[in-house]
Chain A
Amino acid sequence: MTGAAIILFWVVCALAGPQLVPYDPYATDILGALAPPSARHWFGTDQLGRDVFSRVVVGARDILVVAPLATALGVAGGVVLGLVTGYYRGAVDNGLSRLVDVLLTLPLVIIALLALAAIGASTATVVVVIGVVFTPLVARTVRAAVLSQAALDYVAAARLRGERGPYILFVEILPNVAGPILVEATVRLGYAVFTVATLSFIGFGIQPPSPDWGLAISENYGLIGGGIWWIVLANAAAVASLVVGVNLVADGVQEALAT
């Protein structure tokens, strides 16, 4: 519940942020730069004098587009691949397991670094790279669920009625693996948010001057030694709240399905 509320809050910020915030997130004010939090600027201002609060609120936008899109791509691909390999097995299935093995040897951030260095960093490539890496990982989970369902007698009964493969996959099996898929999707969304934020932080995600949390932290963490802590802290809190929100939902889904 709490998780859903947090996510809802940020979705509202992402959708209606520019209308809600007190200042234009892009408006600079060199004279008022690096002001600490005050009644005028709740979270202070940054080096260019931009209002940190406004930028944090609007900063929800890109990550809330990129992470869910990447997740959707990965889940869609993974579900189809998992259903097919779990039911038909065979060579594609073996190939999938090897591919998953390979992907597991590398952390997502490093795969993304390699891919983004090779094809150039942009928001679209972040979506595609994360989505493509998620596909076999989601497929593995779906495959395992399908495998245990395919051994059940209701599948044999369907074959004995002469049902075709697609019917068995999508009408018989899919509804019974919806639970694991839902859990996987929420967990993946958590990873996606985590990864997008991390990539932005190291400069391979969302590109400036878009207001973005990871980016803002990366641009300003050098200043904390000098006591300028509010920019970084505000953005870090924003990332943390979104990640926690998504994971609370994932946990909730998992628990709801377990009982």
Chain B
Amino acid sequence: MTPAPALAIEDLDLAYRVRGRDVSVLHRLSLRIGPGESYGLVGESGSGKSTVALAAVRYLPPNGRVLGGRVLVAGRDLYGLAPEALRRLRATEVSMVYQDPGRALNPSIRVGEQVAEIFRLQGLPPARARDRAVEMLARMRIADPASVADRYPHLLSGGMQQRVAIAMALSTDPRLLILDEPTTGLDVTVEAEILELIAQVRAELGTALLLISHNLAVVAGVCDRVGVLYAGSLVEEGPTREVFDTPRHPYTVGLMRCLPQGGRRKDHGRLDVIPGFPPAPGEGAGGCVFAPRCGLATDRCRAEAPPLHDLGGRLSRCHYPDLAASLPRAAADGLPASVVPDRSGPPILEARGLGKTFGRVRALHDVSLALHAGETLGLVGESGSGKTTLARLLLGLVAPDPGGVVALDGRALAMARRPDQRKALQIVFQNPDSALNPAHSVRRLVGRALVRLARVRKPDRAARLLGLTRSVQLADRYLELKPTQLSGGLKQRVAIARAFAGEPRIVVCDEPTSALDVSVQASVLNLLAELQARRGTAYLFISHDLGTVRYLADRIAVLYLGRLMEIGPSERVFSGPHHPYTASLLSAAPVLNGGSGGRVRLEGEIPSAIDLPGGCVFHTRCPRKLGPVCEREEPALHPGAEPGHEIWCHIPVGEL
């Protein structure tokens, strides 16, 4: 007899009751995870992927109800269990780890006790339970586990908290571990560590995994098989590599094309997009759920819902799985011929010796950089790197420490800027919910910017407004709506329109796509590239995502703990030779297809900005630390492999 699958979901129909109506969230969902297998479930926001996780542990919100189908964990029907049997099942067979570990741990209990609780439940005496808890933390490769066990969750970093959460989940020695966006919100280098840890403990313990993520690359690195969820339906499933290499469903095909990956740059043309919007939950019956957005859809697709076709070890919910790869591009091909940035002249914006200290926190130290007309400078760094502080300093939202200068056209800017100086430099913020006043209509948001920045007089205002909103591909009917009535992508278009109202010469883009789904992200990146090509605007593009930076940036600056590590032409920074920190960032970023060649691992945690390491700030984690010189002396600038490429490291460029 073969052992029961770790998780079997059979024809699950699930709905949330909203205002007396059942709104369907999952539709006839089936999946099966064998013992020890790792299965990845990917989907965009609203696809229902988190609901799958909650359904698999029977922890649905009070308004969630199973309308049909079964969920079997280790062969036992989860929804047929009595409360005590359910508790025992959770205590032995299935565990879950989710996003935001800071909230998953009880704030008022020491983490060691929280882990030990499980061993006490298994009947161990307190002292023994504690020892086991410390052992478990040690297995999560936590250095000094005994002292970590004595701390409260809020004293641990996000990565450390997630290790504790995973330790707790594995303490029951479960057959199935469910991970719901376990690394979302963590820094890339930390994410890489956690993913590696997950892969490793899985190999050691033989636990089956259900890994849920919006990030295809995360799943690609960890899972044997992958399922693609769209609007509550599984549209494609198969071995991970096969699905990502040769997708057989138009949605998967479109999703892969949206990603700025494999070194794509703006001069290669636009990214492809998936047109339209996903259906609202419970909306759209009859026919294929993806048909309204599919370039291949036929009358049959719109009338008849496709079954899951078995393609020999793979499944696709498409009438024409063999045609999927021929999905026509939805975005126009080329970009308007872009203005080649001219770096021979003087820079339009320059920062010299910029620093910022907030109380005891040294957010930024001695940063100098220059931006030329029409170019994009990508700013890359993890949390605490000071990238947002740098943006705010350049914009004049906060005053730099004495000695730092921001110069526009070679003239130093005062804190109180003149109207033409304000107009020259604008920003697109990360979170449009915060950046757009929810009390004002789109017309007013953009119109006010035209009045203040472009000094547009009344008679021209309406025409200019339409011209501007159309240039960011915002349909006229949205003008009277408030931001809360718009989707994330549309909101970001409004924010972009506002930034461009005064025809700025420089726009700071502070992680403008990080809150967006991939398909929406692609269209925003296309828009930014197009606006730049048409208007010659220079960008300072801040991101933690190397793929998006690479797509848009001509030059890249790498920040760590408020200091520049490296700056240079984009392709040079990617190809190297580069700073050891850049090297580790590049190798930490999860990639979709293969390339799991030797990762540069970073030791330890990002130090606190209050208590910065002496010498080179990176020496505490540097895998190529030379010795005492790195602890004592701050490295001077080294010219890199070509002009304009600079590296701050004690190691000679030739050896990097």
Contact = CB atoms under 8 A, between A and B. Distances in A.
Interface string B407-442: 000000000010100100111011100111111100
Contacts of A158: 437
Nearest to A155: B437
A89 to B, nearest CB: 14
B422 A175 contact: no
Contacts of B422: 160-162
B437 A156 contact: no
Contacts of B397: 156, 159-160
A172 B438 CA distance: 9
Contacts of A152: 434-435
Contact of A154 (B392, B426, B430, B437): B437
A255 interface: no
A160 B395 contact: yes
Contact of A163 (B430, B431, B440, B452): B452
Given A162-B422, A172-B437, A176-B437, A157 B427 contact: yes
Nearest to B397: A156
Contacts of A175: 437, 439-440
Contacts of B439: 172, 175-176
A175 B427 CA distance: 24
Interface string A133-162: 000000000000000000011101111111
B431 A157 contact: no
Contacts of B216: none
Contacts of B417: 162
A189 B143 CA distance: 58
B453 A161 contact: yes
Given A152-B434, A175-B439, A176-B437, A157 B498 contact: yes
Nearest to B444: A171
B452 A153 contact: no
B449 interface: yes
A158 B436 CA distance: 10
Contacts, number: 49
B482 to A, nearest CB: 11
B448 interface: yes
A158 B427 CA distance: 11
Contacts of A176: 437-439
Considering residues B396, B430, B437, B438, which has the most beta carbons from chain A within 10 angstroms of its beta carbon?
Answer: B437
A154 B434 contact: yes
Contacts of A161: 422, 448-449, 452-453
A160 B434 CA distance: 15
Contacts of B426: 160
Considering residues A159, A160, A161, A162, which has the most beta carbons from chain B within 10 angstroms of its beta carbon?
Answer: A160
Considering residues B426, B439, B449, which has the most beta carbons from chain A within 10 angstroms of its beta carbon?
Answer: B439
A103 to B, nearest CB: 30
Contacts of A160: 395-397, 422, 425-427
A160 B427 CA distance: 9
A154 B452 contact: no
B321 to A, nearest CB: 44
A159 B431 CA distance: 17
Considering residues A159, A161, A163, A176, which has the most beta carbons from chain B within 10 angstroms of its beta carbon?
Answer: A161
A152 B452 CA distance: 20
Given A161-B448, A176-B437, A153 B498 contact: no
A156 B388 CA distance: 13
A159 B395 CA distance: 10
A158 B439 CA distance: 14
Interface in B203-248: none
A175 B438 CA distance: 9
A178 to B, nearest CB: 8
A166 to B, nearest CB: 15
Interface string B351-371: 000000000000000000000
Nearest to A176: B439
A153 B431 CA distance: 8
B436 A154 contact: yes
B399 to A, nearest CB: 13
Nearest to A159: B397
Given A157-B427, A157-B498, A172-B437, A162 B395 contact: no
Given A162-B422, A162-B452, A157 B395 contact: no
Interface string A206-243: 00000000000000000000000000000000000000
A159 B438 CA distance: 17
A168 to B, nearest CB: 10
A175 B425 CA distance: 28
Considering residues A152, A157, A158, which has the most beta carbons from chain B within 10 angstroms of its beta carbon?
Answer: A157
A188 B395 CA distance: 42
B453 A153 contact: no
B353 to A, nearest CB: 23
A104 B395 CA distance: 41
A154 B495 CA distance: 10
B429 A162 contact: no
A156 B498 CA distance: 13
A87 to B, nearest CB: 14
Considering residues B395, B426, B435, which has the most beta carbons from chain A within 10 angstroms of its beta carbon?
Answer: B435
Nearest to A149: B437
A133 B396 CA distance: 39
A180 to B, nearest CB: 13
Nearest to B439: A175
A175 B482 CA distance: 13
Contacts of A157: 427, 429, 435, 498
Nearest to A151: B434
Contacts of A154: 434-437
A44 to B, nearest CB: 49
Contacts of A172: 437, 439
A193 to B, nearest CB: 31
A202 to B, nearest CB: 44
Nearest to B451: A161
A163 B417 CA distance: 12
Nearest to B450: A161
A157 B453 CA distance: 12
Contacts of B430: 153
A156 B395 CA distance: 10
Contacts of A163: 452
Nearest to A152: B434
B449 A153 contact: no
Nearest to B421: A162
Given A160-B427, A162-B419, A175-B439, A153 B448 contact: no
A43 to B, nearest CB: 45
Interface string B606-623: 000000000000000000
Interface string B33-56: 000000000000000000000000
A217 to B, nearest CB: 45
B409 to A, nearest CB: 18
A158 B422 CA distance: 11
Nearest to B495: A157
Nearest to B431: A153
A153 B434 contact: yes
A154 B436 CA distance: 5
Considering residues A154, A158, A163, which has the most beta carbons from chain B within 10 angstroms of its beta carbon?
Answer: A154
A175 B417 CA distance: 27
B387 to A, nearest CB: 15
A153 B438 CA distance: 11
A224 to B, nearest CB: 49
Interface of A: 152-154, 156-163, 172, 175-176
15 contacts: A152-B435, A153-B431, A154-B435, A154-B437, A156-B392, A156-B427, A157-B498, A160-B396, A160-B397, A160-B422, A160-B425, A161-B449, A161-B453, A162-B453, A163-B452
Given A152-B434, A161-B453, A176-B437, 14 more contacts: A153-B430, A154-B437, A156-B395, A157-B427, A160-B395, A160-B396, A160-B397, A160-B422, A161-B422, A161-B449, A161-B452, A162-B453, A175-B439, A175-B440
Closest 9 pairs (CB-CB, A-B): A175-B439, A153-B435, A161-B452, A153-B429, A154-B437, A153-B434, A152-B434, A162-B422, A176-B439
